[in-house]
Structure 1
Amino acid sequence: MRRPIDSLFGRLVVLVIGVLVLSHVAWFAVIRVERDQSQTRYAVEEATFLVDAVRQHIANSPNQPLPSRVRVVPPTSPDVPKPTPTPADDEVPPPLGRFLEDIRDRLPDGTDVRLGEPGAPPSIWVRGVKDTDWIVVPVQPLRPPRSRDRMLVWLAIIFSTAVMAALLAAWQLQQPLRSLAQAVARFGRGQPTPPVPERGPRELRQLTHGFNQMVREVSQTDNDRAVMLAGVAHDLKTPLARLRLRAEMMEEAKIRDGVVRDVDSMAHIVDQFLVFAHDRADGSEPIEVDQQCEKVARTYRAVAPGAPPIQTRLGAGRSFVLPAATLDRLLSNLLDNAHAYGAPPIVIETWRAANGWVLRVADHGSGIAPDDLIKASRPFVRLDPARGGSGHSGLGLAIVERLARRAGGECEIGNYEGGGLQVVMTFPFDVATRPADERRAGSQHEERTA
């Protein structure tokens, strides 16, 4: 099961959102603290300014009325509040304690500062050493009530914009890498790989350029090898045909049959060379795998009644389809290999797995030694004399693996617990998911519309 966080884009998303969340939370906390301190400093400045202004007013024009909410109260008045506890006491909240400390620092030494009675408009009572009366001035609330903090709204807007911009940048950054990863996967399966556009950061462009150059060189090497094998195999067909004709004209039956068998073996090897050298995409019509497997099994039973039995366990259904030529070559090579090296019964099995369609061909022979499994699909490799025979060049499993990868699937060769060799081929759902008649109808519709 794929997890979004496993991809580069998913991890970039998590990283970007995490960094943005941490930075915005940190800035929000810093701004809130700074704003509270600014409010406290402003309230202190305003209160000390009003106290100095009242003192100058009393000294210069005592007969003029004072501004609203500014009073001068005699010390004997019953309205004088009780002394405010020191900030060290638990009764004073920390913000209010810091406010009183700042007020006392700004006023002359010995000044008595008290808070107004609770429930009344916020005010402070100040009486210096030289003051005869209490000076009462209003103060701003340290934390004015707010129904909603606008800062949160702005932070949400900025955060959303930053996340969208960052996700767009991350998506553009991972797109070239994703294209390169898809091209590498196609190249690994042996499928045609067009050049990947060289875009993105400098290091990624250099990597893409190197990959494109490697694909061109490997393709050129494969083409040269295919041309060489195809040429050799084609040139051998004519002398082989002449040899067979001359062999059939021999009078002695024993010698004639032996020469004909050798010529047929050589012709089979030549055919394998041609199949292995063929490096083009299969353009044949897709057919249902289950139906074709059953047909091939019936053909083997009819042609060779004494051959080992072939069992079919076909459970994929009509949605599993593959190109006809590819499927025929796969089955023929696997069944020939099982008949030559394995033991009955031979099983052809299909089913729908979680990650794609599965085609399995197995026999009940001795299998392959574990140390030789890695070499089983290498071309021109014959594992041991016991697995050799006339007409075999070591290309059977190599052809199977190449055909499976060219069709978009994966091939796994190994032994199983019941004994014998099994070849399991898995084809993704996006390679073949529609029944053959639906594809045929779609292609006919396209031809009519064209």
Structure 2
Amino acid sequence: MRRPIDSLFGRLALLVVAVLMLSHFAWYGLMRLERTQLQTRYAVEEATFLVDAVRQHVARTPDQPLPSRVKLVDPASPDVPAVNPNMPASLEHFVEDVRDRMPAGTQVRVGSPGGPPMLWVRATTDQNWIVVPAQPLRMPRSLDRTVLWLAIIFSFAVMAALFAAWALQQPLRSLAQAVTRFGRGLPVPPVPERGPRELRQLTHGFNQMVQEVGRTEHDRAVMLAGVAHDLKTPLARLRLRAEMMDDAKTRDGVVRDVDSMTHIVEQFLVFAHDGADRSEPVEVDAQCERVVRSYRAVAAGAPTVQTELNAGPSFVLPAATLDRILSNLLDNAHAYGAPPVVVATARTPQGFTLSISDNGHGIAAQDLINASRPFVRLDPARGGNGHSGLGLAIVERLVRRAGGEWEIGNYGGRGLRVLMSFPFEVLPRVAAASESAW
């Protein structure tokens, strides 16, 4: 099961959202703190201005009434509030800031709680307490428009960042898909060179590598196919002359050698073939049953071949590809394995599997890596008549060309098993490609 967080886009999206969320919350916290500090400074300035204005009013026009909520209180009045030692820290800082703005020796107190906030100030030169209204230090903490605007800005920022992350990972995704196709041996068109400079350089290098590898593979295939094709005619003449020999023992030996050489030439041609399989798709279970039935009838002395076909009719592959896979693996099991040979198919949550296993000695663990390399024989005894070291290499190439993956190994210590897996998504493309060729 794919997890979104495993993709580049998922991780970029998570990183972007986390960074934006952290930055917006930090910005909002700093804004709230700065607003509180600005409010405190404004309240101090306002209180200082009002106290100075009252002093000037009393000095210049003592007979005129004072503004509302501003009054003068006799120091002996019982309404004068006492010093509160348990003031909140913010209020205490406010009183200290007001006292710092006043002349030395000025007394600053805060009115009794429960009523409108009032500030009591008396300097050494004042005859009475000057009482002025004080602005509340903290505004109501209800959800205001700031939070709404923050949510809107955050949403637009996230959408823009996700689009940027998607645009950034698209070239890398195209390159990853091309690498996957190249690893499976499928044709790879040039990948568009876009994105950051480093990614463009990487894509350019990959395109050059694909071109060089394709050119080398093409040259090798042409050379191999040309040599194999040129050998077919002399082999046919050699077989015809061998059948005309009078000595039956010599004739039979030469014919067997010619047949072995012909088989090797045919393997060369199959391995060198680089085109798509244009044969008609067939149900794998039914075709396996037919191939096994004919193999039992034709291959005299072949080991017992059993079938365990449970994939169902949805599992289809091109007929020529499937026949070549089965014939190569059955011949390999016949030559080096031991009965019974089991041809099995199954349906899994990810796709379909096709496996062929025998009960021989298998392949040594250190030789499994080289088992599918072309023209490699794991020991001299396996290079008998008609064997070129291409059987497993052909199977691997055919499986990858059909969009599948393969795994070769010793199964349960009883023999060699080749397990081929075909995901659900590749099978419709295989069928469509084969049908379009017709």
User: One fold, TM greater than 0.5?
Assistant: yes
> 1:145 and 2:109 equivalent?
no
Provide structure 2 residue ranges, at least 5 long, that are not aligned to the other structure. Answer: none
The equivalent of 1:36 in structure 2 is: 36
CA RMSD after TM alignment: 2.0
For residues 443 and 191 of structure 1, do their structure 2 counterparts lie closer, same or farther at Cα, with a shift above 3 Å needed?
closer
Which whole-Å CA distance do the structure 1 matches of 2:220 and 2:429 have between them?
A: 35
Instruction: Name the SS for the 2:193 alignment partner.
Output: coil
Does the 8 A contact of 1:319 with 1:434 survive in 2? Answer: no
1:13 aligns with 2:8: no
Instruction: For 1:131-210, list aligned pairs within 5 A.
Output: 131-210=126-205
Q: Which residue of 2 aligns with 1:362?
A: 357
Cα 1:3–1:435 change in 2 (3 A) is: closer
Query: Alignment identity in percent?
Result: 73
Structure 2 counterparts to residues 317-356 of structure 1, below 5 A = 317-356=312-351
Q: Please identify runs of 4+ aligned residues in structure 1 that moved more than 6 A.
A: none
Could you tell me how far apart the structure 1 residues matched to 2:256 and 2:141 are? 99
Bigger shift: 354-363 or 261-270?
354-363
SS of the residue corresponding to residue 124 of structure 1 reads strand
Following the alignment from structure 1 to structure 2, what is the Cα–Cα distance between the partners of residues 102 and 2? 61
**What secondary structure sits across from 1:375 in the alignment?**
coil
- Kept in 2, the 8 Å contact 1:308–1:346? The answer is yes
Measured after TM superposition, the shift of residue 82 of structure 1 is 2.1
Partner of 1:111: 106
| Distance (whole Å) between structure 2 residues aligned to residue 175 and residue 121 of structure 1 | 63
Given that residues 402 and 430 in structure 2 are in contact (C-alpha distance below 8 angstroms), is that contact kept between their aligned partners in structure 1?
no
User: Which residue of 272, 280, 283 corresponds with 2:278?
Assistant: 283
Q: Which residue number in structure 2 is paired with residue 48 of structure 1?
A: 48
Provide the rounded CA distance (Å) in 2 between the counterparts of 1:393 and 1:147.
83
Three-state SS of the structure 2 residue aligned to 1:432 is helix
Residue matched to 2:377 = 382
Residue 43 of structure 2 aligns to which amino acid in structure 1?
Answer: A
Point out the more displaced range, 211-220 or 142-151.
142-151
Asked if the contact 1:44/1:102 (under 8 Å) is kept, the reply is yes
User: Is the 2:355–2:420 Cα contact (8 Å) retained in structure 1?
Assistant: yes
Separation of aligned partners in 2, 1:325 and 1:163:
52
Given the alignment, which residue of 396, 401, 417 partners 1:401?
396
Secondary structure of the 2:426 match is coil
Instruction: Kindly provide the CA deviation profile for residues 132-154 of structure 1, in whole angstroms up to 9, marking residues without a partner as x.
Output: 11111001111122432322222
Give the structure-2-normalised TM-score.
0.96
3-state SS, counterpart of residue 72 of structure 2: strand
What is the identity, as a one-letter code, of the residue corresponding to 1:383? L
1:24 aligns with 2:19: no
Cα contact 2:372–2:393 (8 A) shared by 1:
yes
Quick check: 1:290–1:316 contact (8 Å CA) kept in 2? yes
Q: Quote the offset at 1:69 in angstroms.
A: 0.9
Cα shift at 1:98 = 0.7
Contact 1:413–1:421 (8 Å) recurs in 2: yes
Distance, in Å, in 1 between the alignment partners of 2:176 and 2:215 is 22
Say if 2:362 and 2:414, in contact at 8 Å, map to a contact too: yes
**Structure 2 contact 280–435 (Cα < 8 Å) conserved:** no
Q: Distance in 1 between matches of 2:429 and 2:236?
A: 43
TM-aligned CA deviation for residue 251 of structure 1: 2.1
TM-score, normalised with respect to structure 1: 0.93
1:88 maps to which residue? none
How far did 1:377 drift?
A: 0.6
Quick one: which amino acid aligns to residue 9 of structure 1? F
Q: Which amino acid aligns with 2:353?
A: V
Structure 2 Cα separation of the partners of residues 376 and 14 of structure 1:
44
* C-alpha contact 1:320 1:434 (8 A) present in aligned 2: no
Q: Report Cα offsets for 1:59-79 as digits up to 9, x if no partner.
A: 100111211111112223332
* Residues 341, 358 of structure 2: 8 Å contact kept: yes
> Structure 1 CA distance, aligned partners of 2:308 and 2:60?
113
Task: Report deviation, 1:303.
Answer: 2.2
Q: SS at the partner of 2:51?
A: helix
Equivalent residue number for residue 228 of structure 2: 233
Question: 1:363 and 1:421 mapped to 2: Cα distance?
Answer: 6
What CA distance in whole angstroms lies between the structure 2 residues aligned with 1:435 and 1:428?
11
CA-CA distance at 1:193 after TM superposition: 0.4
- Matched residue, 1:73: 73
Say whether residues 1:251 and 2:246 are aligned partners: yes
Please say if residues 121 and 138 of structure 1, whose CA atoms lie closer than 8 Å, have aligned partners that are also in contact. yes
**Partner AA of 1:18 in structure 2:** A
How far residue 252 of structure 1 moved from its aligned partner, in angstroms, is 2.1
- Cα distance in 1, alignment partners of residues 345 and 328 from structure 2: 17
Give secondary structure in 1 for the equivalent of 2:368. Answer: helix
Could you tell me whether the CA contact under 8 Å between 2:318 and 2:430 is conserved in 1? no
Give the number of aligned pairs. 438
Segments of structure 1 that go 5 or more residues without pairing to the other structure are 86-90
The reply on whether 1:97 has 2:92 as its aligned counterpart is yes
Aligned to 2:427, the other structure's residue is in SS state coil
CA distance in 2: counterparts of 1:186 and 1:123, whole angstroms: 79
Letter paired with 1:242: R
Alignment of 1:250-269 (within 5 A): 250-269=245-264
Instruction: Tell me if the contact between 1:319 and 1:435 (Cα under 8 Å) persists in the aligned partners.
Output: no
The 10-residue stretch of structure 1 (283-292 or 352-361) with the greater mean CA deviation from structure 2? 352-361
Partner of 1:59: 59
Compute the displacement of 1:2 (Å).
2.5
Q: Deviations over 1:87-111 (max 9, x none)?
A: xxxx211111110110111111221
Q: What's the CA shift string for 1:250-270, capped at 9, x where partnerless?
A: 222211111111111111011
Separation (CA, whole Å) in 2 of partners of 1:239 and 1:80: 127
- Structure 1 residue 369, shift from structure 2 partner: 1.4
Corresponding letter in the other structure for 1:58: V
Contact 1:288/1:435 (<8 A) preserved: no
Q: Aligned partners of 1:63 and 1:282: how far apart in 2?
A: 112
Q: 2 CA distance for matches of 1:117 and 1:82?
A: 9
What's the offset of the Cα at 1:443?
Answer: 5.8
Q: Distance in 2 between matches of 1:112 and 1:258?
A: 127
